[in-house]
Amino acid sequence: MFAQENQETNYTKMFNELFSELEYCNEDEQRKKIEEMNEIINEMNKEEFFYVFTARIFNKIDKMIEEEKLSLEKCILFLKHVRDCNFMKTIFKFYFRYSSLDKRIEEMIIDESEKKKEEKNEKLLDNLCKCYISLSYNFPPELLSICVTCLLKAALNKVESEENQKEVEIALLALSNTNYYEIDKELYLNEIKEIIKYHLEHHNLTHLAYQSAWQFLIYRFIEDKSLEGMIVNELHFTREAGREFEDLTRSVDWKKEKKAKEDIIIERWLQVLDCYFYYCQLRNEEYVGLISSIVRVLRAARENKKEINYQSICSLRNAAEIIDVKINDLLKSEAVDAVLEEIQQPTIVDEITKDLLLFSKYVSMRLKEEEDDEKEEMKRKEAKRKVLEKMEEEGFEDLITSFHNLFDFLNKKYYFDKLSLDISDYFVKI
């Protein structure tokens, strides 16, 4: 739990004072106070945000709606901003799920979805689904089916306007919040394919919307391996992820430590790649470009974006371990060079050390494997020579030897992905 959970700061105090006055205001005053509260939310850090938005505040909003002291319209206006800030502050577990307001919105979604077409308020249903899926979790199957259908319909809107582009982004971002939930393929497959393919031709989505569409699809792949060929060869995930990394790398201010929206999108791509590398067995020539893009992100993030830097290292480690990527791909993409650079950083921390060592171990293991095919064996020997030259150039064996006394400690501290205690497992010999 956050250290500031029980501490009231100036921002939380200002927010609570405004919120306590909300039920005594008329509609115009309420709108003004909500706008002021939203401005304060923008300035809160992650800990302050978490401190304020407990189940208590959502229960209070629900009570105000029940007593007709706050309109549903004003509630949605407020929740929309909370939802957007929740994303920017990267809060993953949220108290909204434990509130009576969550239950109210669940009931409203079901009631609205069951109305006849001429009686249904599509705009209200759309807003309710976007807030509910973005702020809650542990979705009941019936609610999930209704929301997925509604959000995909919103995401398929191709009207060319800034307002619509934002609404599409919110719909796809909400859908990406359903990561580990099982969803009937008939509910989403044609729609999400159409969304991605239309973007490939028209580039109508924002970076966040496009990332969210892919995230929604990749997490469906965990449960349904039949999607693999479509993801790899029809929609070209690795090519598209690499291209997005290139675009985002150019737009990020790498000198600023403060997290921006582009930083969060890169982090989300890297998280999706970890899932993809782990579960996908198909490989094509597009992997080299993707790994090269990860390497560029890793190097750019080294000084001021430590979280992105670390996630990039994790992605390279996963690529070296699980995906059938040739060692020559890791050489061409400069992944080996980047890891050797990283392991020499003076401020390297334990967790990063472990992942860099694991990358080295996986590369070494792969180079020790024998190839039945004579041509492939010759390529492997050439790759081994190149890796050995790079390791000798960077003094790799001395570095590994200096870390060796940490191996047992790291294995106890991070009990997954054990490091071999045999130091020769990390060296390459011809």
- Chain segment 344-399, per-residue pLDDT in tens: 888 788 888 899 999 988 888 877 776 656 676 777 678 778 877 877 777 778 88
The span from the CA of 276 to the CA of 221, in Å, is: 8
The span from the CA of 242 to the CA of 255, in Å, is: 22
Is 90 exceeded by the pLDDT of residue 324? no
Q: Over the Cα atoms of the chain, what is R_g?
A: 25
> What local confidence, expressed as pLDDT, does residue 283 receive?
75
Which amino acid is located at 164 in the chain?
Answer: N
More reliable by pLDDT, 338 or 418: 338
Cβ density class 255-268: b for 16+ within 10 Å, e for less = eeeebeebbbbbbb
The span from the CA of 362 to the CA of 325, in Å, is: 11
The span from the CA of 208 to the CA of 192, in Å, is: 15
> What local confidence, expressed as pLDDT, does residue 323 receive?
65
Determine the average pLDDT of the residues in 288-307: 95
> What local confidence, expressed as pLDDT, does residue 2 receive?
39
> What local confidence, expressed as pLDDT, does residue 374 receive?
67
The residue written with tokens 């009631």 in the block is 111
Is 70 exceeded by the pLDDT of residue 93? no
Name residues whose C-beta falls within 8 Å of residue 244's C-beta, 6 or more positions apart in sequence.
207, 210, 211, 269
- What's the whole-model pTM score? 0.91
> What local confidence, expressed as pLDDT, does residue 372 receive?
59
Reported as a pLDDT band with limits 50, 70 and 90, residue 154 is very high
The span from the CA of 226 to the CA of 213, in Å, is: 18
The span from the CA of 296 to the CA of 207, in Å, is: 18
The span from the CA of 227 to the CA of 225, in Å, is: 5
Residue 200: name the closest of 232, 235, 165 by CA: 235
> What local confidence, expressed as pLDDT, does residue 38 receive?
95
CA separation (Å) from 360 to 317, 419, 424? 8, 11, 11
Segment 239-269, tens digit of pLDDT = 999 999 999 999 999 999 888 999 999 999 9
Which amino acid is located at 343 in the chain?
Answer: I
Task: Tell me which of 6-10, 204-208, 363-367 is least confident.
Answer: 6-10
> What local confidence, expressed as pLDDT, does residue 395 receive?
79
High-pLDDT (> 90) share of the chain, %: 63
Average pLDDT, the chain: 90
The span from the CA of 245 to the CA of 238, in Å, is: 11
- In the structure encoding, which two tokens stand for residue 171, read together? 């719909």
The span from the CA of 320 to the CA of 383, in Å, is: 14
Determine the average pLDDT of the residues in 169-183: 94
CB 88 within 8 A of CB 264: yes
Reported as a pLDDT band with limits 50, 70 and 90, residue 428 is confident
CB 175 within 8 A of CB 130: no
